[in-house]
Amino acid sequence: MLEIKKITVRYGENPPVLEDFSLLVRRGEIVAIVGESGSGKTTVIRAVLGNLPGDGRVTKGDILFEGRSLLSLNREEWRRLRGTQISMIFQDSGAMMNPTRSVGAQFVEYIRAHSGLTKNEAREKSLEMLSSVRLPDPERVMKSYPFELSGGMRQRVGIAMALAFRPKLLLADEPTSALDVTTQAQIVRQMTLQKKESDAAMILITHNLALAAYMSDHIIVLKDGKVVDSGSRDHILRRPESGYTKNLLAAVPAVKGARYV
Ligand X SMILES: Nc1ncnc2c1ncn2[C@@H]1O[C@H](COP(=O)(O)OP(=O)(O)OP(=O)(O)O)[C@@H](O)[C@H]1O
- Vertex 3: Cα angle to 41 and 206 (nearest 5): 25
Minimum CB separation of residue 82 from Mg ion in Å reads 19
- Return the residues of window 178-217 that contact ligand X according to CB under 6 A: 207
**H or E stretch covering 24:** strand 18-25
User: Applying CB under 6 A, which part among 20-28, 32-40, 67-75, 162-170 lies near ligand X?
Assistant: 32-40
Minimum CB separation of residue 230 from ligand X in Å reads 16
Minimum CB separation of residue 101 from ligand X in Å reads 28
Q: 40 touches which of ligand X, Mg ion, none (CB within 5 to 8 A by kind)?
A: ligand X
User: Applying CB under 5 A, which part among 38-46, 116-124, 131-139, 154-162 lies near Mg ion?
Assistant: 38-46
Strands 218-223 and 30-35: parallel
Minimum CB separation of residue 96 from ligand X in Å reads 15
Q: 234 touches which of Mg ion, ligand X, none (CB within 5 to 8 A by kind)?
A: none
CA distance 102 to 143: 6
CA distance 245 to 229: 7
Nearer of residues 56 and 104 to ligand X, judged by Cβ: 56
Cβ atoms within 10 Å, residue 45: 17
- Give the interface size with ligand X as a residue count (CB under 6 A): 14
User: Which of 8, 24, 42, 73 is the binder for Mg ion (CB under 5 A)?
Assistant: 42
- Return the residues of window 36-65 that contact ligand X according to CB under 6 A: 37-43, 53-54, 56
Nearer of residues 108 and 209 to ligand X, judged by Cβ: 209
Nearest to 34 by CA among 212, 191, 194, 153: 212
Nearer of residues 38 and 137 to ligand X, judged by Cβ: 38
Cβ atoms within 10 Å, residue 254: 9
Instruction: Give the residue closest to Mg ion by C-beta.
Output: 42
Q: DSSP secondary-structure letter at 16? A: P
CA distance 182 to 195: 20
Q: 207 touches which of ligand X, Mg ion, none (CB within 5 to 8 A by kind)?
A: ligand X
Nearer of residues 35 and 152 to Mg ion, judged by Cβ: 35
Cβ atoms within 10 Å, residue 62: 14
Q: How far apart are the first and last CA of the chain?
A: 28
- Rg (the chain; Cα; Å): 19
Query: Footprint of ligand X on this chain (CB under 6 A)?
Result: 11, 17, 35, 37-43, 53-54, 56, 207
